[in-house]
Amino acid sequence: MEKGELKILNKGEEEEMELQGYRLCRWRLALVGFGVLCTGGFLLLLLYWMPEWCVKSTCTRTTARDAEVVLLRSTDEFRRWFLARVRVMLAPGSNPFHSLETQTTSPPSSPSSLSCPFSSPSSPPLANGYTPHPSDGSPAQELSRRFSDYQPTQMRYFTFHSTKYYWSDEMQNFNVLTGLEDLEVSCSTIHSEHSAGLTRNQQEYRRLFFGVNEIAVKVPSVFKLLIKEVLNPFYIFQLFSVILWSVDEYYYYAAAIVFMSVISIATSLYTIKKQYIMLHDMVAAHSIVRVSVCRANNDVEEILSTDLVPGDVVVIPSNGTIMPCDAVLVSGTCIVNESMLTGESVPVTKTNLPNPPPGEREGVDGAYNTEEHKRHTLFCGTNVIQTRFYTGELVKAVVVRTGFSTAKGQLVRSILYPKPTDFKLYRDAYLFLLCLVAVAGIGFVYSIVLSIMNEVPAKTIIIESLDIITITVPPALPAAMTAGIVYAQRRLKKIGIFCISPQRINICGQINLVCFDKTGTLTEDGLDLWGVQRVESGCFHLSEETAQKENLVKSQFVACMATCHSLTKIEGQLSGDPLDLKMFEATGWILEEATEEETALHNRIMPTVVRPPKQLLPSQPDASAEQDMELAELSSLYEIGIVRQFPFSSGLQRMSVVSRTLGEKCMDAFMKGAPEVVASLCKKETVPEDFAEVLEGYTKQGFRVIALAHRRLGSKLNWHKVQNINRDYIEANMEFLGLIIMQNKLKAETPAVLLDLHRANIRTIMVTGDNMLTAISVARDCGMIPPEDTVIIADALPPHDGQAAKITWRYADKPSRTTRLEEINISLEAEVHLEEPKTQELYHFAMNGKSFAIIAEHFPDMLQKLVLHGTVFARMAPDQKTQLIETLQGVDYFVGMCGDGANDCGALKRAHGGISLSELEASVASPFTSKTPNISCVPSLIREGRAALITSFCVFKFMALYSIIQYISVTLLYSVSSNLGDFQFLFIDIAIILLIVFTMSLNPAWKELVPRRPPSGLISGPLLFSVLTQILICLGFQTFTFLWVKKQPWYEKWKPLTDVCNQSDPLNVSDLNNTEVDEHNIQNFENTSLFYVSSFQYLIVAIVFSKGKPFRQPSYKNWPFVLSAVGLYFFLLFIMFHPVKGIDGFLEIVCVPFEWRLQLFLVILVNAAVSVLVETFILDIVLWKLAFSRDKQANYGVTPAAPTPQGLIDLQGYKCLSWLCPSKTAPKARYMHLAQELSLDPDWPPKPTTTTEAKPRPENGSVYDIIIINS
């Protein structure tokens, strides 16, 4: 293997990284040590900040297998570097799942732990492992001594982000040992080989690899946090500045900066410490609890949860518990509250893992996976409310993951080690700082040359030259930049929106597309039963309002409604899915669950029982019907027991139950779910011929339709067989029973909020698990799709029997009918021309999850074009919602996602701004959580995001101008061997800058969303124009003042006895005689004149940059800012026109003639007028409008409004701007490029009488064939 070879860790996963191996080199270490001494430790700091330099300067390349240090680099867009030390552990074996034959020698010295069904003793060795820290070496050595027959094995590993990576000779790479999924063990194998438990020796041996079962969020000591915070490059720069100022005897200013830094560091430490404590407390609830585990000899032993390992079998107590690990149920059922993970507070029923009999495992006994089998998996941190069990069999679960490998562990890791925020503002901020440093470099060289020409001492040259650099980078910049975000976070909290990722608030200001879940988000959570439509003999009955009728009470239809649900009683109250609850309540039946005492009296399971109330039962039998005669005999005791549940799966879009009616020999299977899915699993003769038409009729009206089905099971199917049978066997050859029609009303706030977003040119998309036609109807009702717009449904079919994948296009309201085919070829590619966009057709695409998956796989280029106008995505599985978000981000949309937190966790986390509508104050499932259970929080969040973003721009521009203004003043004063005084610096930095910065950030958000969006970065034409013009204005007026003061007839080189004010006060002359010699030449006419002008310039640019409408409230409504600015203006005018001896002495200002003060005042007024004119008229009215006309004209994917005269003016202006700046004519966002291509394509959108086929050609990629279907 070559030494230069790169290894890829976590290939294809979110945390994919490149790995290089290195070995420490002694002579390089010595050389670096010498460099550290020579640079006074600065080189060590540099290597601390730059891991890549650190490794490459101290190590030599080697193979990954022999590495002592590994250098890691993320493969995402950030390309961050990390380093990790490789450690070695001695263990009795190399595979944690190998069986150690000696199982009786272990003394009960340490409690054993839960074991997970990862592998059998005959399993092949794993390629990866999870090794503990060397501090766990003592048990390893103990085991090595205990199992002396085993040859000790060296295990090489490193730790990164709380995860251990273990070297595998077989894979020739480092890998993570997570748990059960690594072995790809089947569900039946878990039951047969992993449900008995582990011996103590097996448990202790596995714990060497998997470590302690604990999500250890260590709260760092204040000292550690302090060191880490202080080593920030910015604070090191501040330390350098303070030392420099102290050497230059600027003690007061240095002390003030130290004070500011201490306050800043203390605040930062307090916030970080508080976050660590909150996170620690969040995971501490289940970190150490006592659990009961089953041993291999059928004993049940109580141990600490920290000792659990994959393969242990844990007993779930009947009164519930908080899960300390991820475990899969192998017997019994549990009712679990998963709100910690999902934000959804509705309890979920978990059933035992299916165990198909040996003869029926073909094709159904797949490998266990926590995602696919989540309905059987108890996740770490979730609360088991109660369990269902039967005599002789405990509720057992096999541990599959422990520690940071668990679902909650992964969430905690994502909080502990977040990805850096990828936002143009922050990237541009660094570029801007580099520009300031470049300006400082010019001043540095200028001051050195000037000082040498003036024969200044070497010490003064060094100090003054370095001083220029410290002036250019403002010390209060980090605190100033975060102020707007902190204030926005407080305002969001006041309106019930909680944020766990404050940096995302700025990004929310850029959102131009929002995805909404439907049920519980756009519509009410609760569903009302509108009616039922039963089927008998393959024909629909007329729809009925209710199922509570005597003639229906013992029908299979009502029995299905009463049994096919996952409801349970918690503290006497029915609880579960709102749809199930409404459906069951509509029957009027009663649900009863066995108590623990009742369960203990029976040798079989006590099922959940449902029965109708006596008043619903027929009062007397009908003698003409034999069946009714039989039922009448049992009328006093008619009840149905639910024997087995197959919970609802969003992937399968159905749920089913097996039940037994009291007195019946045979069991029944009932199923409910999406009508299309249920009908496909029923016998064809039982499904009415007009099924599709009836279903379409309801869905077009916006009803939510649920289909029911029934099947009588064979008498040979006893209770034990049912517990292990596969659901695919039950859910086949069913008899179609009919439809339940549920009404899902829009929330009152939904249409108005969507209208606000539409007016603001923010696209809205519906992503739901519901039926497509229902979703389209709701989209029309809420205004997401205007009534006059066309909806094109994309129906995709996978490759079949040698035929390529194809997409059929049809109107939602006018399904096309195929008669004959005529095939033609067209190209979907067109040249990009910047011309007037053609009048876009008002159309929207709609598709279901199945079509989405096919298009994503076979038509990847087509998918990006579809999402430009895709508005309804129905029957979407949770992972498909996440994939849609990624596709939209792939074409450069800033995507918001609003959901109820249940099936939307991945999408909420992936979106730029994910908002969970949850009653919980903070859900770790999404960056934002709203306590208001409707979508009115979305525009509020975007408005606050825009306000915070504009505040960040304002503050950054102001801080940049503050640095440049001060830099200009100092540079001009250096030319006369002068400088600003210590207290002048102090007054400017503390009294003016800090006060203004922290009050100018207080402007609240504007009251409504506007179509204009704020820019995403600092490097944009209007912003650069704003900053550069203000710099030039300030430079011009300061230079003019500096030169003009020398032209005054009274001007002379200032001395302590100089009296140009014609002051005759003898006390003043006496004071002047006693004045100490000014070594730094601070007191002079140039200094005083520039101090007055520059002080006003700070306030002028603050007011000019403090923008209000359309993103923030006007500055005059920001009372702290107004009072601060007016107070400072008044103070400056006061000391300017009414000198006070004490203040002048403190600020080292000299007296100037009254006429000169008037002239300075005139200069300041003209400066203010020019600044306001340039910023307000030229920038706001001309440049902003022209720049944003591109955004308005090309807000592709938003249904365009009719052209207006103003729009035509904007378009002409945009063309003019494009002509002036030809290099920036093409739109930057990818979705704009795609929209331009499609606007020139005559065959887009696809006509509703066409089918698109995928015909891959390896040399050219995919070509689409359009088949025209003539009706």
1110: preceding bond cis by omega (within 30 degrees): yes
For every residue of 1167-1184, DSSP letters joined together read HHHHHHIIIIIIIIIIIH
Is the torsion defined by CA of 205, 208, 214, 215 positive or negative?
negative
User: Token pair for residue 1203?
Assistant: 């052209």
Half-sphere exposure of 295 (CA within 13 A, CB side): 15
CA-CA distance, 691 to 588, in Å (whole number)? 28
User: Token pair for residue 990?
Assistant: 């503390």
User: Is the Cβ–Cβ distance between 995 and 1108 less than 8 Å?
Assistant: no
CA-CA distance, 465 to 458, in Å (whole number)? 11
Burial of 1032-1056, coded b for 16+ CB within 10 Å and e otherwise, reads ebbbebbeebbeebeebeebeebee
CA-CA distance, 966 to 950, in Å (whole number)? 24
Please calculate the CA angle 509-514-515 and round it to the nearest 5 degrees. Answer: 150
User: Is the Cβ–Cβ distance between 332 and 388 less than 8 Å?
Assistant: yes
Q: At what angle do helices 937-974 and 1085-1105 cross, to 10 degrees?
A: 170
Separation of first and last alpha carbons in the chain: 64
CA-CA distance, 117 to 1223, in Å (whole number)? 62
Bridge partners of 711, per DSSP, are: 669
For every residue of 78-127, DSSP letters joined together read T--EEEEE-EEEEES-S-TTSPPS--S---TTS----B-----TTSPPPS
Please calculate the CA angle 639-643-649 and round it to the nearest 5 degrees. Answer: 115
798: preceding bond cis by omega (within 30 degrees): no
Is the torsion defined by CA of 171, 174, 176, 179 positive or negative?
positive
Helix (H) / strand (E) containing 533: strand 528-536
Half-sphere exposure of 142 (CA within 13 A, CB side): 14
Residue 584's closest CA among 594, 571, 573?
573
Which stretches of 1013-1140 are DSSP H helices?
Answer: 1021-1046, 1066-1073, 1085-1105, 1119-1137
User: Is the Cβ–Cβ distance between 324 and 310 less than 8 Å?
Assistant: no
Residue that the structure tokens 């030229």 belong to: 1178
User: Token pair for residue 810?
Assistant: 């049809």
User: Is the Cβ–Cβ distance between 1198 and 761 less than 8 Å?
Assistant: yes
Dihedral over alpha carbons 1030, 1032, 1037, 1041 (to 10 degrees): 140
User: Is the Cβ–Cβ distance between 1213 and 1186 less than 8 Å?
Assistant: yes
**Cβ count within 10 A of residue 443:** 20
Gyration radius (Cα) of the chain, Å: 37
Strands in 326-331's sheet, in edge-to-edge order, are 300-304, 290-294, 313-315, 396-401, 326-331, 377-378
Catalytic one of 182, 248, 428, 517: 517
CA-CA distance, 517 to 498, in Å (whole number)? 20
User: Token pair for residue 769?
Assistant: 């698990």
Active site residue 467: no
Residues with active-site annotation: 517
